[in-house]
Amino acid sequence: MRVSRRVVFAVAGSIMAASALTACGGGSTAKGNADGVLKVGMPNGPQTDNNNPFLSSSAGASLGYRRMIFEPLTMWNSAKPADKAKPWLATDWSWSADYKTLNLTTRDNVKWSDGQAFSADDVAYTFNLLKSTPALNNNGIKFGDITASGTNKLTVTFPTPQFVNQVKILSDIPIVAKHQWSSISDPATDPVKQPVGTGPYTLKSFTPQTVTLDVRDSYWQDLPKVKEIQYTSYTDNNAQTTALATGACEWSFVFIPNYKAVYTSKDPAHYQIYFPPSLGVHGLWFNTTKAPYDDPTLRQAISMVINRDDIFNQGEAGYFYPAVTSPTGIPTPAGESFIAPDYKGQTVKVDVAGAKAKLTAAGYTYDGNTLKDKTGKPVTLNLSDPAGWSDYQTDLEIIKDNVSKIGITATVDKANQDTWTKDIDTGTFDSAMHWTDSGATPYQMFASIMDGALYKPVGTPGVNGNYGRFQNQQATDALNTYVNATDDATRATALNQIQKIMVEQQPMIPTSAANVGGEYSTKNWVGWPSTSDEYAPGQPTLINAEDIVLHLRPAS
């Protein structure tokens, strides 16, 4: 999944009075825990009444409440990506050896929220809907034949192997009711004002600021203890942080630069942060078509002097994006099982002397403290990211200082966001902090860094990965082998080769792991995931949000 960036705002040291908020029920005037209310918030501004579960622009997606209404076939845990998914609307599933055929058994005795019975025919309808409506097929899954038999059996074929898309098919697609959606004239744009789902909640009310869900009278699992969920959309990160700190909101996902001072210290016994890494990274991307950044030796040397601990503790506030320590770039512990034997146990360390030795051995020279490339020109580096992305801007200042130790003069460009986006899209940049895709294996991460299929020449817009315009046929071939392999051994061999290319070519420098975390309060509700019980990621907008709510119980 591509990680979306939000502008990161500096959080004021003082907390505004709760009465100043248009909060989840208005702070002290909100319903208490005695009424079984959970207060969720996101810093996404006023919302439009749209509950279409396939649209990332909908209020249901922005605030996360679509997860409580519409359910997936399986519940996959991105905090522990190697674990088998939990059965959800599907009780059993199996793939053919070539991952071109999927056989499903759907759960019996499930009712839609309007009382009609759920069956395999609803799943078949959902898959056919995506097949026939590209605007809703967000992951671009190429479906073949889709055949339901009886009430609970389904067979789906695909023209190509789907090993790398298993999670996208089984856990990322919300299943919708055929009896409702078959009468919708334009599913790609319909706001679905009265959503019907199999989840434990129904939509009670909607305003641009607050959406309220009520628990159903019956559900195929035990009914949750949370009887009502109030979702509030705050104007920005400051307002969201204030709501968390005053208790007006109990669960969110927001970057808080000085989280100890403005959040957790306000109620250390109850205010918690939980930010496990996922299998995606953030880091320094180079325009590998531009000299001298087209030289892997220079990229390796820069990697050797970047202080990832400083980036984590200063740029990412010591919690938000965990440091990446494996030379392969694979985040740990989430990706530990995927690391190649040649790199097991290895960690990156700052090594200025080693970086200088590597450069001079490759033909670089020094004029005093200034590094000169193989043509005799001083090496300079423009580091660019939007001015409002304060964590990335701090990261770049740290990198600027780090590379000065090997004689590189760097400048930090606090870019206009639109200009920066265009520069990344067309390849007219030197270097920038950016993110990768993530998934159930490191494949998605590496593909977004090195896949030649995503390459576009400088000046050609429309990139969706390979932002550094990296070209290496061996990497592309190994990625293709991984995708099309029919056995684990072949996939492991291909992934090991991909890691070797990553280490030796260093097309980008991973510094931080993507996270799947959140902030929450245990004052009213307990049972949250934590570092000691990572049964789910912590974000209230991910599929696992439903699983989290089902785990919650009153604190007293």
Least confident segment among 20-24, 67-71, 233-237:
20-24
* pLDDT at position 323: 94
pLDDT-based confidence at residue 473 (cuts at 50, 70, 90): very high
Q: Is 410 helix (H, G, I), strand (E, B) or coil?
A: strand
Q: Are 214 and 320 contained in the same domain?
A: no
Work out the burial of residue 517: count CB atoms within 10 Å of its CB; fewer than 13 is exposed, 13-18 middle, 19 or more buried. buried
337-351 pLDDT, tens digit each: 999 999 999 999 999
User: What backbone torsions phi and psi does residue 32 show, to the nearest 5 degrees?
Assistant: -85, 180
Is 10 domain-assigned?
no
* pLDDT at position 2: 34
Q: Are 509 and 523 contained in the same domain?
A: no
The mean pLDDT of 299-327, rounded to a whole number, is: 96
Q: Are 441 and 335 contained in the same domain?
A: yes
CATH assignment of the domain containing 160: 3.90.76.10
Listed residue (143, 110, 113) closest to 128, CA to CA: 143
Q: Are 163 and 234 contained in the same domain?
A: no
Q: Are 511 and 521 contained in the same domain?
A: no
What's the token pair of residue 537? 């990621």
pLDDT-based confidence at residue 332 (cuts at 50, 70, 90): very high
* pLDDT at position 418: 87
Q: Are 236 and 148 contained in the same domain?
A: no
Q: Is 415 helix (H, G, I), strand (E, B) or coil?
A: strand
* pLDDT at position 131: 97
Listed residue (274, 277, 275, 281) closest to 332, CA to CA: 277
Work out the burial of residue 473: count CB atoms within 10 Å of its CB; fewer than 13 is exposed, 13-18 middle, 19 or more buried. exposed
Is 365 domain-assigned?
yes
Q: Are 45 and 113 contained in the same domain?
A: no
Report the percentage of the chain scoring pLDDT > 70.
94
* pLDDT at position 16: 31
Residue 15 predicted with pLDDT over 60 = no
Residue 12 predicted with pLDDT over 90 = no
Is 5 domain-assigned?
no
CATH assignment of the domain containing 226: 3.40.190.10
CATH assignment of the domain containing 477: 3.10.105.10
Q: Are 484 and 402 contained in the same domain?
A: yes
pLDDT-based confidence at residue 130 (cuts at 50, 70, 90): very high
Among 141, 165, 189, identify where a domain stops: 189
Is 25 domain-assigned?
no
Q: Are 440 and 486 contained in the same domain?
A: yes
Q: Are 252 and 115 contained in the same domain?
A: no
Domain count for the chain: 3
Among 161, 189, 217, identify where a domain stops: 189
260-306 pLDDT, tens digit each: 999 999 999 999 999 999 999 999 999 999 999 999 999 999 999 99
Cβ neighbors of 238 (< 8 A, separation 6 or more) are 9, 11, 12
* pLDDT at position 6: 40
Among 189, 211, 238, identify where a domain stops: 189
144-196 pLDDT, tens digit each: 999 999 999 999 999 999 999 999 999 999 999 999 999 999 999 999 999 99
* pLDDT at position 70: 98
* pLDDT at position 32: 52
Report the percentage of the chain scoring pLDDT > 90.
87
Is 20 domain-assigned?
no
Q: Are 115 and 90 contained in the same domain?
A: yes
Is 7 domain-assigned?
no
549, 255, 81, 145 alpha-carbon torsion, rounded to 10°: 80
* pLDDT at position 367: 97
* pLDDT at position 232: 98
The mean pLDDT of 241-266, rounded to a whole number, is: 96
Give the residue numbers spanning the domain of 522.
Answer: 35-69+199-276+516-555
- Give the count of alpha carbons within 13 A of 351, CB side only: 12
* pLDDT at position 486: 87
Contact 483, 163 (CB under 8 A): yes
Q: Is 476 helix (H, G, I), strand (E, B) or coil?
A: helix
415-444 pLDDT, tens digit each: 888 899 899 999 999 999 999 999 999 999
Is 231 domain-assigned?
yes
pLDDT-based confidence at residue 18 (cuts at 50, 70, 90): very low
Q: Are 237 and 172 contained in the same domain?
A: no
Listed residue (338, 508, 544) closest to 435, CA to CA: 508
- Going by their DSSP bridges, the two strands 210-215 and 201-206 should be labelled as antiparallel
* pLDDT at position 270: 98
Q: Check the CA dihedral 334-338-340-345 and report its sign.
A: positive
What is the residue-averaged pLDDT of the chain? 92
* pLDDT at position 282: 97
- Global pTM value: 0.85
The mean pLDDT of 132-153, rounded to a whole number, is: 94
Is 3 domain-assigned?
no
41-74 pLDDT, tens digit each: 999 999 999 999 999 889 999 999 999 999 999 9
Contact 252, 540 (CB under 8 A): yes
* pLDDT at position 127: 98
516-547 pLDDT, tens digit each: 999 999 999 999 999 999 999 999 999 999 99
